[in-house]
Amino acid sequence: MIELPGSLRDLVIERVDEELEVTGADSADAWTECVLAGLEALAEEMEEDIGENLVSKLEESGELEQSLSNELSEAYDALSDPSGDELIRILERHCEVAWINEDGDDEIAKGFMEADGYQDEEF
């Protein structure tokens, strides 16, 4: 599992949505390119040691059998007009991403726990 700053999850989704709109992406390979652009934006906002190697760290985290781009293209193949959020959720499952609260507590942000079937409890 790789832990990423929860505060940046929305940034990634926004960037992916922008790429989807600007490029008119309509295939699994094009959607993958949009996600990679979102990950590039994420990497720029992160600590140097993780950000510079984000894609390889995601590949290691998910113990992928092939490159991240190939893995995502295959996973996205059955989709029809996905949103950035949908694409990132698939990335989260494949790469075992946990979006964490940077304040140091163990609260795991939306995304990873939902992918494992957990539901937020309303108080």
Query: Is residue 123 in a domain?
Result: no
Record the tokens describing residue 109, joined without a space.
Answer: 């942000």
Mean of the per-residue pLDDT values of the chain? 84
- The DSSP symbol for 96 reads T
User: Mean pLDDT: which of 5-19, 37-51, 52-66 is highest?
Assistant: 5-19
C-alpha–C-alpha distance, residues 106 and 108, integer Å: 6
Query: Is residue 121 in a domain?
Result: no
Count of the separate structural domains present in the chain: 1
Q: For residue 24, give its domain range.
A: 2-115
* 50-55 average pLDDT score: 84
Side-chain half-sphere of 46: how many Cα atoms within 13 Å? 23
What pTM value is reported for the model?
A: 0.79
Is 111 a residue whose pLDDT tops 80? no
Confidence (pLDDT) at 52: 83
